[in-house]
Amino acid sequence: MRLVNTKRRCLPLSYSLCTKTTVTHSVDATIIKTGFNLKTSRSNFKLTDLVANGQVAQAHQLFDQMLRRNTYSVNTLISGYVKSGNLSRARDLFDGMPVRTEVYWTILIGGYSQHNQPIGAFKLYAEMCRWGTVPDYVTFATLLSCCNETLMTKAVTQVHSHIVKLGFSGTLKVCNSLVDAYCKTGTLELANRLFLEMPIKDTVTFNAMTTGYSSM
């Protein structure tokens, strides 16, 4: 005689169908909420590929043809112009944006930094503050990485006050950038004071101080 396990239970078909319907509705709701669009996603993929291959002009043509764009679209094209050194076009694109997040500002600040234009980077940061956009720790690290002139000491100290005010004074990456900036601008006293106040230090911290003192 064959025994049948009466404790084994199967979910009814109606429950299975209900679960699938719930999942589908959940996905649809997410798509609506995030603004996901399949055509935009495909265009962004092509946009990324063009920028990666240095074809920024072609990427801009594709960008202009896109019926719907999102944050990724704009970030990619701005990054492409920044990477190619065409900061004026990157700025034109940036200025035409009605909404500017800290990511957009940081990308463009990084462009000025990468191409050895510290004055432009700090002016853009000042404009960011006037615009009312709150910077994050990446913004500060990016901005401070371009300091290389003694005339920028006042600007660095002002940024330092913003860092303290916004609560990033305990962020190691930001503190390292500050120490390095003070050293590069010849303000070793302030660099040393910050170094002593830092609760956590790493090799980057010590290297910055060592380089600062060796350049005296």
Architecture of domain 101-216: Alpha Horseshoe (1.25)
Cα–Cα distance between 25 and 81 in angstroms, integer?
40
Is the separation of the CB atoms in 214 and 206 below 8 Å? no
Distance of CA 57 to the CA centre of its chain: 23
Q: Where are the domains of the chain?
A: 36-99, 101-216
Cα–Cα distance between 82 and 68 in angstroms, integer?
23
Cα–Cα distance between 56 and 45 in angstroms, integer?
14
What would the two tokens of residue 55 be?
């074809």
Q: Taking the CB of residue 167, how many other CB atoms lie within 10 A of it?
A: 9
Cα–Cα distance between 178 and 190 in angstroms, integer?
10
Cα–Cα distance between 155 and 15 in angstroms, integer?
64
Is the separation of the CB atoms in 101 and 71 below 8 Å? yes
Question: Angle at CA 174, nearest 5°, toward 168 and 179?
Answer: 125
What would the two tokens of residue 110 be?
């990084």
Q: How confident is the prediction along the chain (216 residues), in pLDDT tens digits per residue?
A: 444 444 444 434 333 434 333 433 333 343 333 455 788 889 999 999 999 999 999 999 999 998 888 888 988 999 999 999 999 999 998 998 888 889 999 999 999 999 989 999 999 999 999 999 999 999 999 999 988 776 688 899 999 999 999 999 999 999 999 999 999 999 999 999 999 999 999 999 999 999 999 987
Is the separation of the CB atoms in 108 and 123 below 8 Å? no
Cα–Cα distance between 29 and 25 in angstroms, integer?
6
